[in-house]
Amino acid sequence: MSHLQIFPVDGGPHPIPSFASNDAGLIRSELAERGIGFERWPARAALPAAAGAEQILAAYAAEIARVQASGTYPTVDAIRMTPEHPEREALRQKFLAEHTHSEDEVRFFVEGRGLFCLHIGEEVLQMLCEQDDWISVPAGTKHWFDMGSAPQFCAIRFFDNPQGWVAAFTGDPIASRFPLLD
């Protein structure tokens, strides 16, 4: 189930959330107040365990076309992470470092889950995204992502940059002060 927690940035070594909810309407409202898009879409396709990017993108062609109709996100790909992925630990560490992008970060989770952590002003929002969650993080938003030590997710990623995922790391160790997915 989707879950949002909001923490104060200066919450100390064991921060306590000032807000927590599993209610999609409340989550959408809290995120919208901070410029983050959130929707629930049905992940209608059952994907085989060995489905590659082409098969995933074909299964969700209608959803991709709907997003791309605006002309904002001409590039799309799919990422699938499993506990057996040979680069899972290196990728986890890379994504756990706070960074920004010069473009929006838009994801539709079609399987599994992942934890988006957004550093906005004096707050850290931890958004547990699960199957059926669509999230849009505006360009320039400081954030990190935790896929867990045994990752299990598949997400369709939308880009306005043909190069795909390009991060600018902030060097701030803030992510180490907040809970991880595990």
pLDDT digit of tens for each residue in the chain (182 aa)?
899 999 999 988 889 999 999 999 999 999 999 999 999 998 888 899 889 999 999 999 999 999 999 888 998 999 999 999 999 999 999 999 999 999 999 999 999 999 999 999 999 999 999 999 999 999 999 999 999 999 999 999 998 876 667 789 999 999 999 999 98
Answer yes or no: is 133 within a domain. yes
Complete DSSP assignment for 67-136: HHTTSS--EEEEEEE-TT-TTHHHHHHHHHS-EE-SS-EEEEEEEEEEEEEEEETTEEEEEEEETTEEEE
Answer yes or no: is 178 within a domain. no
Please give the Cα distance from 76 to 137 (Å, whole number): 16
Answer yes or no: is 89 within a domain. yes
Answer yes or no: is 182 within a domain. no
Answer yes or no: is 179 within a domain. no
Domain that holds residue 142: 3-172
CATH number, domain with residue 54: 2.60.120.10
Answer yes or no: is 59 within a domain. yes
pLDDT value at position 11? Answer: 81
Domain count, the chain: 1
Answer yes or no: is 77 within a domain. yes
Residue 132, token pair as written in the block? 């059926």
Please give the Cα distance from 89 to 83 (Å, whole number): 9
